[in-house]
Amino acid sequence: MFLTFDGLSRGAVYAAFALALVLIWRATRIVNFAQGAMAVATAYAGFEVSAATGSYWLGFAVAIAAGLILGAVTERVVMRFVDHSSPLNGVVVALGLVLVIQGGLGMIFGSEFRPAEAPFSRDAFTVGGVALLSRFDLFVFAAVGIVVVLLALLFTRTHTGLRMRAAAFAPDVSRLLGVNVSGMLTLGWALAAAVGSLAGMLVLPTELGLHPNAMDIVFVSSFTAAVVGGLDSAIGSVLGGLIVGLLLSYVSGYLGATVAPIAVLILLVVVLLGRPGGLFSRSAARTV
Amino acid sequence: MTALLRTESLTAGYGAAPVLHEVDLDVNTGSITAVLGANGAGKTTLLRTLSGLLPATHGRVLLDGKDLRGVRVEEMVRRGVAHVPEGRGVVTELTVDENLRLGGLWRKDRADVRKAMTEVYELFEPLARRRKFPGHQLSGGERQLLALGRALVGRPRLLLLDEPSLGLAPKITAQIMTLLGTLRDRSGLTVLLVEQNVRGALAIADEAVVLALGRVVTRGTDIDDEMRHAYLGF
Ligand SMILES: Nc1ncnc2c1ncn2[C@@H]1O[C@H](COP(=O)(O)OP(=O)(O)OP(=O)(O)O)[C@@H](O)[C@H]1O
Ligand SMILES: [Mg+2]
């Protein structure tokens, strides 16, 4: 039971992080390998502000806002100029960005772990002697739930959401219809990076703490979640996140924590080989 | 008559060698101009250059007498120009309704956008029955209707149409041609109509331009037999 709640709580974070990957993949056909490093960078900013002001929530807000800005800047300054003739180009640029960000963080903050405090107790409530979930887990569920709902509303109910979807699917046609495609792209990166930052703020307190590489494992899990969901599907990425979270939790609970990353890699390979369109894909997902 | 759209020695292409050569056009307000020519003559290239998707390498495009150089593509619709591209104009991942709404998103007058959408659904019956269908589930002909209807939601002054009859049944093609004539007569719509369906296009056109290898080889109100044979093949 505890493992299930723990898995869902982790899974919610992976879901948010995978969702951010999917947002960018759908808009640009780039897997943003730099998303983990970007999230860590904004988390450093957030926790610095928290430490300086004594207010967790101010730091939390700063981290999210820094995500918005970093995402927009990354798109405007770097990703915009990626040549799309080969899919490898985006990967190489994103990996370059990882090195730059992680190197920069190491130089500024050093590479020892720094504490990343949680805003709520991480002690699990117990019901009849069985540990279930903590206040922090509830916070994670609420935060991710709100973000998922807000994004869904944005994309399905607002003019901007319609513009963003159109710009991602058919840029030239969208421009002919007056959509500022380049602006939508910047907005998409900003939102995705902010969601990534949120995921970072939610996961770092449960890990060893702040470190330039702190999100590397989370990235792998979330990337697996996104692939399980089919990379193109927002709902798929959320389900994928929960699946990966549960898998990790059960495997580390029953077989030991060291086996867990291997289980994730096995899942990734199995899905890529068996159902490259994602676990939930129908046989013909897309006709052009 | 004043020219709504005018090109002067317009030259454009995709690489070093131009595809369009020194094209001069005058499209009068409230007229329908048919652009004819064999496959590869440069008709699509002409429309893409007019709407700014393709930059002109030489010459210029004037709308209302104003040079369009430096005007961004996304600005064109606000100046009253709607370009319905060849073939894949529908955003296949979006529903019929979303595609139509997209055509009016830039407009401030939301009430008139709703009115225009209602009109389109009345005009194009097959679309009204498939509002919630994603674009990729539409037939080729339905997609053409949707792309045209979406342009109309923007209430354009100048419509650039690239082979609207492609894949449409003759009866529907005839309906579209009639509709264009009606819009011209009632609201002064100006149309630049690229067509393979030469007879249909000439039946409503006020003027025709024939392109061959990226040059205007003939123009006028009637296409004489020699030209017809040489460039159009019938
Ligand atoms: N994207 C492109 N890149 C390079 N050359 C192109 C491109 N599109 C068209 N061309 C070339 O430009 C020329 C004119 O093409 P265009 O599409 O304008 O012809 P068209 O008159 O519209 O033909 P069709 O009736 O077949 O639609 C052709 O020789 C074609 O090979
Ligand atoms: Mg063409």
As a whole number of Å, the end-to-end CA separation of chain A is 45
pLDDT of residue B1 exceeding 60: no
Homologous superfamily, domain B1-80+158-234: P-loop containing nucleotide triphosphate hydrolases (3.40.50.300)
Q: How confident is the model at residue A147 (pLDDT cuts 50, 70, 90)?
A: very high
Which is higher by pLDDT, A61 or A286?
Answer: A61
pLDDT at B182: 93
The answer to whether the Cβ–Cβ distance between B91 and A174 falls below 8 Å is: yes
pLDDT mean across residues, chain B: 90
Q: For a ligand 1 pocket test, name from B14, B23, B57 the mutation site with the most ligand atoms within 8 angstroms of its C-beta.
A: B14
pLDDT of residue B226: 59
Mean pLDDT of B73-94: 92
The arithmetic mean of pLDDT across residues B213-220, rounded, is 86
Decide if pLDDT at B224 tops 70.
no
Chains A and B: how many Cβ contacts under 8 Å? 72
Contact status, residue B77 vs residue B106, Cβ threshold 8 Å: yes
User: In whole numbers, what is the pLDDT of chain A averaged over residues?
Assistant: 90
Domain ranges of chain A: 2-213
pLDDT at A76 over 50: yes
CA of B74: which chain A residue's CA is closest? A178
Residue A24 binned pLDDT confidence (cut-offs 50, 70, 90): very high
Look at the alpha carbons of A138, A144, A145, A146 in this order and tell me if their dihedral is positive or negative.
Answer: positive
- Whether residue A130 is predicted with pLDDT greater than 90 in this model: the reply is no
Q: In this structure, which amino acid lies at residue B21?
A: H
- What number is the average pLDDT over the span A27-35? 91
Q: How many residues in total does chain B contain?
A: 234
How would you classify the pairing of strands A124-127 and B20-28? unpaired
* Residues A206 and A122 sit within 8 Å (Cβ to Cβ): yes
pLDDT, greater one: A280 or B59: B59
Which residue's CA lies nearest to atom 7 of ligand 1? Answer: B14
> What pLDDT sits at residue A29?
87
pLDDT tens track for A224-281 = 999 999 888 889 999 999 999 999 999 988 988 888 888 889 999 888 888 777 777 6
What per-residue confidence (pLDDT) applies to A131?
76
Q: Which chain B residues touch A286 with a CB distance below 8 Å?
A: 136
To test the contact with chain A by mutation, choose from B44, B81, B96, B105 the residue with the greatest count of A C-beta atoms within 10 A, namely B105
Mean pLDDT of B42-63: 95
The per-residue DSSP string of A102-159 comes to HHHHHHHH-SS-B----SS--PEEEETTEEEEEHHHHHHHHHHHHHHHHHHHHHHHSH
Chain A CB contacts of B106 under 8 Å are 177-179
In eight-state DSSP terms, residue B78 is G
Give the bridge partners for B82, in sequence order.
Answer: B159
Largest CA distance in chain A: 63
Residue A40: which of A201, A190, A192, A189 has the closest Cα? A201
3-state per-residue secondary structure call for B84-137: ECCCCCCCCCCEHHHHHHHCCCCCCCHHHHHHHHHHHHHHCHHHHCCCCCEHHH
Given this model, what pLDDT does residue B229 score? 65
Report the amino acid identity of residue B58: H
Over residues B186-198, mean pLDDT: 92
**Closest-approaching ligand to the CA atom of B54:** 1
Query: What are the boundaries of each domain within chain B?
Result: 1-80+158-234, 90-155
Q: Which residues are CB-neighbours of A258 under 8 A, at least 6 positions away?
A: none
Q: Rounded to whole angstroms, how far apart are CA atoms B173 and A114?
A: 70
A178/B74 touch (CB, cutoff 8 Å), yes or no: yes
Which residues, including other chains, have CB under 8 Å from residue B175's CB and lie 6 or more apart? none
Give me the mean pLDDT over the A146-162 stretch. 95
> Which amino acid would we find at residue A185?
L
The whole-number pLDDT of residue B167 equals 80
- Is residue B62 within a helix (H) or strand (E), and if so which, with residue range? strand B58-63
* Residue B225: band (very low, low, confident or very high) from pLDDT cuts 50, 70, 90: low
Share of chain A above pLDDT 70, in %: 97
Q: Which residues of A touch B90 (CB under 8 A)?
A: 173
Query: How confident is the model at residue B148, as a pLDDT?
Result: 94
At position B23, the amino acid (one-letter code) is V
Q: What is the pLDDT of residue A282?
A: 55
| Predicted local distance difference test score (pLDDT) of residue A276 | 74
Measured between CA atoms, the residue of chain B closest to residue A170 is: B91
Summarize the confidence of residues A93-120 as an average pLDDT: 90
Cβ neighbours of residue B164 under 8 Å, at least 6 residues apart?
A: B84, B144, B147, B148, B173, B176, B193, B195
Pairing of strands B190-194, B81-84: unpaired
Is A169's CB within 8 Å of B73's CB? no
The sign of the dihedral angle between the CA atoms of B120, B121, B122, B126 is positive
Determine the Cα–Cα distance for residues A12 and A202; give it in Å rounded to an integer. Answer: 9
Distance CA B141, CA B63 (A): 31
- Report pTM: 0.89
Q: What are phi and psi of B21, to 5 degrees?
A: -120, 115
Q: Do B150 and A170 count as a contact with CB atoms less than 8 A apart?
A: no
pLDDT category at B6 given cuts 50, 70, 90 is very high
Distance in angstroms (rounded) separating the CA atoms of residues B93 and B77: 22
Report whether pLDDT(A182) > 80: yes
Phi-psi region of B138 (alpha: psi -120 to 50; beta: other; left: phi over 0): beta
Closest CA to B20 of B217, B213, B194, B232: B213
Q: Which residues have C-beta within 8 Å of that of residue A92, sequence separation ≥ 6?
A: none
Residue A162 sits at the vertex; the CA angle it makes with A30 and A80, to the nearest 5 degrees, is: 30
Q: What percent of chain A has pLDDT over 90?
A: 66
For the stretch B117-131, pLDDT in tens is: 999 999 999 999 999
Nearest chain B Cα distance for residue A175, angstroms: 5
Q: Please report the pLDDT score of residue B8 as a whole number.
A: 94
β-strand partners of B84:
B161
**Residue B60: per-residue pLDDT:** 94
Ligand 1: residues with CB < 6 A are: B 14, 19, 37, 39-45, 86
Which neighbouring-strand residues pair with A130?
A: A127
